[in-house]
Structure 1
Amino acid sequence: MEIKDSFDLLKFLKKQNLLENSPEFWWPNSNDFEITIGAILTQNTKWENVEKSLKNLKDLNLLSLEALIEVDIEILIKAITPSGFKNQKSHRIKLFAKNILDEFGSFENFQKNVSRAWLLSQKGIGQETADAILCYGCHQEFMVVDKYTQKLLLLFNYKFDSYEDLSAWCEYGINENLDRIYELYGYEISLNKLYCRFHGKIIEYMKQSKSKSFTRVEK
């Protein structure tokens, strides 16, 4: 099968009925702050481990900026241990929470006003994590691409030299074919929701295809 652009890829994936039982925006949690912290925790580990850490944080009432800033670091380390790199991630999450509060005053204001450049200036947040926070946590129009995306496109003989090239390829075919996508969906789906579901379809397809498991490495 020939895939000329990301619109063709979207059509291919949509035929697979991959997200029938998934949330509207795919990410397996509807709480924006939890999604944002989860995007950091999921670096270099499996989502199942992140879920355990998030449950621990929820049980300790630590899923807020103020709580993460004030909590003793040893308690935070213990809570997120299932996600791995517990010392590194705990310090980075505390600093991230403090920087959000100092810069934006609230998480809601952060959602509305944060830029990709600001996120990339934060310790431990690389391009994929930044885009995941923007797309899923802030509902902005950014497409997340990852190792699953790279692996799937290799099956169609596409290889990219950088994250930026892969992201641009995915976004371009979608933006150039929005009218056709509206026809495909039967309504004017928002670009943010479309990016969420497109990324989700890629991941679910690769998982169901029993692809090799990939994890992110960000510095």
Structure 2
Amino acid sequence: MQSLSNSYELLEFLKALNLIAKEPKYWWPSSDEFEIVVGSILTQNTKWTNVEKSLKNLKSLDYLSLENLANSDIVLLTNAIAPSGFKNQKSKRLKQLCLNIIDEYGTFEEFKQKVNSSWLLSQKGIGQETKDAILCYACKQEYMVVDKYTARLLGRFGYEFDSYDDIQTWLVYGINENYDKIVKLYGYEISLNEIYCRFHGKIVEFMKRNPKD
């Protein structure tokens, strides 16, 4: 692998490979923000193909809305998300999250506008990666998602970090310091949120295609 001085050079390297040209603008396979929230929780400790099966089941039950999932039958919900694994745990956490959103924000639109990191991290079953995925992809906020692919890819370039926050700080700093270069690279006034979405997507797609050193 080539050497990297900063995360902009990583973005430049990945962009040249044309990894997500056929994917949606923000890379995540759904544009429905509530579905993104649900998917970000279901994808914990499982493959996305399993999540897609669960989402299909939830759609058939008309459970992919905040109010409907909050008022869902827990047995039906648990069975619907079984393909994603940890069905009992995830069903309880999803339902409780929806109830908490309604209690705190009233509507999903208000949630998207006003939710922050600390509130999400206070919810059972939501850690840093899931929190950032919700903020970045569902709420269109300026958060860079870090996952196991990110740490492994950076390791290939000789970078080792002690924590999630350290990786995220390194990634974000290089993007912000080189924003003008990124605009030229893309050829339009791209938002930081879109950069973070597409950057994360490129990392994931690269690692899926290149799983071994």
The 5 Å alignment of 1:73-112 reads 73-112=74-113
Alignment length (residue pairs): 212
Please state how far the C-alpha of 1:210 moved relative to its aligned partner.
3.1
Counterpart residue number, 1:155: 156
Tell me the TM-score normalized by structure 1: 0.95
Secondary structure (helix, strand or coil) at the match of 1:91 reads helix
Counterpart residue number, 1:131: 132
Counterpart residue number, 1:143: 144
Post-superposition Cα deviations, 1:49-105, rounded to whole Å, max 9, x if no partner, equal: 000000000111001111112111100000000000000000000000000001001
- Tell me the distance in 2 between the aligned counterparts of 1:144 and 1:2: 22
- Tell me the distance in 2 between the aligned counterparts of 1:173 and 1:211: 26
The 5 Å alignment of 1:5-154 reads 5-154=6-155
Structure 2 regions of 5+ residues with no counterpart? none
- Tell me the distance in 2 between the aligned counterparts of 1:71 and 1:94: 7
Please state how far the C-alpha of 1:26 moved relative to its aligned partner.
0.1
Post-superposition Cα deviations, 1:141-160, rounded to whole Å, max 9, x if no partner, equal: 00001000001000000011
Secondary structure (helix, strand or coil) at the match of 1:9 reads helix
- Tell me the distance in 2 between the aligned counterparts of 1:71 and 1:177: 46
Please state how far the C-alpha of 1:211 moved relative to its aligned partner.
4.0
Secondary structure (helix, strand or coil) at the match of 1:16 reads coil
User: Aligned letter for 2:139?
Assistant: C
User: Aligned letter for 2:67?
Assistant: E
- Tell me the distance in 1 between the aligned counterparts of 2:182 and 2:107: 35
- Tell me the distance in 1 between the aligned counterparts of 2:203 and 2:70: 35
Counterpart residue number, 1:215: none
The 10-residue stretch of structure 1 (75-84 or 61-70) with the greater mean CA deviation from structure 2: 61-70
Structure 1 regions of 5+ residues with no counterpart? 213-219
Secondary structure (helix, strand or coil) at the match of 1:110 reads helix
Please state how far the C-alpha of 1:2 moved relative to its aligned partner.
1.2
Alpha-carbon distance change, 115 to 57 in structure 1, aligned in 2, over 3 angstroms: same
Tell me the TM-score normalized by structure 2: 0.98
- Tell me the distance in 1 between the aligned counterparts of 2:139 and 2:66: 15
Percent of matched pairs sharing the same residue:
62
